[in-house]
Amino acid sequence: MARRRRHTVAAVIADGVAPFELAVGCEVFGIDRSELIDPWYRFLVCASTPGPTRSSVGFTIDTPYGLEEVRRADTVIIPAWGARGDMEVPADLIEALRTAHKRGARLVSVCSGAFVLAATGLLDGRRATTHWMYADLLAKRHPEIEVDPKVLYVDEGDVMTSAGTAAGIDLCLHIVRLDHGAEVANAVARRMVVPAHRDGGQAQFVEAPVAPSAGDDPLGTTLGWMLEHLDQPLGVDDLAERAHMSPRHFARRFRAVTGTTPHQWLLSQRVLLASRLLETTDDSIELVAYRCGMGTAANLRTYFRRAVATSPQAYRRTFRQAEAG
């Protein structure tokens, strides 16, 4: 079997870069996780100007890499710059990002990094997001962009944008999932101990990778039990009884903890389980539907397409081809 080529991810920085948003890329792509998939990513931090780069909290970052590596990268990450995305974007950085994009690179922004991406013109006529505090400003400065402040991130294929801070984690895990499948993304998320569920719509589907900690919380115990019994009918009344709550109190408490309804949470978990089964087994579509609690192949196809924007058959074919390559 031919060995995969290493995919290079370059995070480009300038004075005022936000440490957390930069660290998201470092954590997801920069740590060697070749025990999960080999080869893992090649990760570079690239300065937009020569010399040490000063972060937004005062410490400096020294890196041997610059814009030439950005031009050659497969994925370029633009972390948050400045307090309101109001920093001037250097012309040579705009040129480097456009060059990378033209040769097929995927461009990714975190938080106010969307302003840098907007300056390239590559978001024109597309949907994008940024931190909700800056969404109106982005829309005002760039009326040609369809700014959506409600979502965690937007995947437009070759350009991707995410909302503030932790939404960058959601987008980076989404990228790992696209490149290597749900099982690998799930393993990375477990290592990072990310929240069990991130509420969101179809375009920003992020599987909930970590089972809730039960502890002494009856809801946590019930959530863990639900994950182990996804193949069974799970009604709110029965779940509330298991959690020793009234159905109304259970529903309120469930939304407060997970940010969504029991029905939507279960649906997300069942789609995630279906993704794993499609990647790792030869089970028929009918058997996958049964094992993940969707009942019929028709139900699986309907809900899977809504969540993942493709059919179960196409999803399996894509990831089996990637494994074979």
Backbone angles phi, psi at 152, to 5 degrees: -75, -40
Average pLDDT over every residue of 233-242: 92
CA distance 36 to 195: 21
CA distance 260 to 264: 6
Q: What pLDDT was estimated at residue 308?
A: 79
Which domains can be identified in the chain, with CATH numbers? 8-192 (3.40.50.880), 211-259 (1.10.10.60), 265-324 (1.10.10.60)
**pLDDT band at 206; cut points 50, 70, 90:** very low
Do 209 and 181 form a contact (C-beta atoms < 8 A)? Answer: no
Do 285 and 300 form a contact (C-beta atoms < 8 A)? Answer: yes
- Cα dihedral value 139, 127, 21, 79, nearest 10: -80
Task: Summarize pLDDT for 258-279 with one digit per residue, the tens.
Answer: 778 899 889 988 998 998 899 8
Reply yes or no on whether the pLDDT at 5 is more than 50: yes
Backbone angles phi, psi at 288, to 5 degrees: -60, -45
Reply yes or no on whether the pLDDT at 181 is more than 60: yes
pTM above 0.95, yes or no: no
Pair type for strands 60-61 and 53-54? antiparallel
**pLDDT band at 307; cut points 50, 70, 90:** confident
CA distance 183 to 41: 16
Average pLDDT over every residue of 168-188: 88
Reply yes or no on whether the pLDDT at 1 is more than 50: no
CA distance 150 to 136: 12
Q: What pLDDT was estimated at residue 193?
A: 79
Do 160 and 148 form a contact (C-beta atoms < 8 A)? Answer: no
